[in-house]
Chains A and B, each alone.
Chain A
Amino acid sequence: MNLEFSPEEVAFRAEVRAFIEENYPEELKDMGSREDLTRDQFLAWHKVLGKKGWAAPAWPEKYGGTGWTSTQRYIWSEENARVDAMMPLPFGVSMVAPVIYTFGNEEQKARYLPKILSGEEWWCQGYSEPGAGSDLASLKTTAVRDGDHYVINGQKTWTTLAQHADWGFFLCRTDPNAAKPQEGISFILVDMNTPGIEVRPIITIDGGHEVNEVWLTDVRVPVENRVGEENQGWTYAKFLLAHERSGIAGVARSKRGIERLRDIASTELLEGEPLIKDDSFARKISQLEIDLTALEFTELRTLARESEGKGPGPESSILKVKGTEIQQRLTELTLEAVGSYGAPYFRGFPEDGSNEFPIGPDYAHHAGPNYFNFRKTSIYGGSNEIQRNIITKMILGL
Chain B
Amino acid sequence: MDFNFTEEQTMIRDSLARLIREQYDFDTRMGVVKSESGWRPEMWAQFAELGLLMAPFSEEDGGLGGDPIDSMVVMEEFGKGLVVEPFVPSVVCAGGFLKHAGTAAQKEEHLQAIMGGASTFAFAYAEPRGRYNLADLETTAKKDGSGYVLNGHKSVVIGAPWADKLVVTARTGGDRRDAGGISVFIVDKGADGVTTRDYPTVDGRRASEVYLENVSVGAGALIGAEGEGLPLIEQVVDEATAATCAEAVGAMGVAHQMTVEYSRQRKQFGTPIGKFQVLQHRMVDMFMEHEQSISMTYMATLKLGEDAVERKKAASAAKVRIGQSGRFVGQESIQIHGGMGMTEELAVGHYFKRLTMIDSEFGNVDHHMRRYTELSATDLKAAAE
Q: Please give the residue numbers on chain A whose beta carbons come within 8 Å of chain B beta carbons, in ascending order.
A: 128, 131, 133-135, 138, 157-158, 202-205, 207, 211, 268-272, 275, 278, 280-281, 332, 335-336, 339-345, 347-350, 357, 359-360, 368-369, 371-372, 375-376, 378-380, 383-385, 388
Contacts and interface: CB of A to CB of B under 8 A. Distances in A.
B331 A375 contact: yes
Nearest to B269: A135
A343 B268 contact: no
A377 to B, nearest CB: 10
A205 B353 contact: yes
Contacts of B343: 202-205
A205 B211 contact: no
B384 interface: no
Interface stretch (B8-16, B197-205, B308-316): B197-205
B156 interface: yes
B155 A349 contact: no
Interface of B: 126, 128-133, 136, 155-156, 158, 176-177, 195, 197-203, 207, 209, 211, 267-270, 276, 278-279, 327, 331, 334-335, 338-339, 341-345, 349-350, 352-353, 356-357, 359-360, 364, 366, 369-370
Contact of A203 (B155, B341, B344): B344
A348 B136 contact: no
Nearest to B266: A133
Contact of B338 (A336, A339, A348, A383): A383
B202 A345 contact: yes
A379 B337 CA distance: 9
Given A205-B352, A340-B126, A343-B156, A375 B339 contact: no
A385 B342 contact: no
A272 B176 contact: yes
Contact of A360 (B155, B158, B327, B359): B155
5 contacts: A134-B269, A204-B343, A205-B350, A344-B156, A350-B199
Contact of A271 (B177, B200, B345): B177
Contacts of A207: 344
Main secondary structure of the interface of A (DSSP, over half): mixed
> What 4 pairs across the A-B complex have the smallest Cβ distances?
A205-B349, A348-B200, A368-B202, A135-B268
A369 B352 CA distance: 12
B364 A360 contact: no
Contact of A379 (B133, B202, B269, B342): B342
A341 B155 contact: yes
B199 A342 contact: no
Contacts of B353: 205, 368, 372
B339 A128 contact: yes
Given A157-B339, A372-B202, A388 B176 contact: no
Contacts of A335: 356
A133 B268 contact: yes
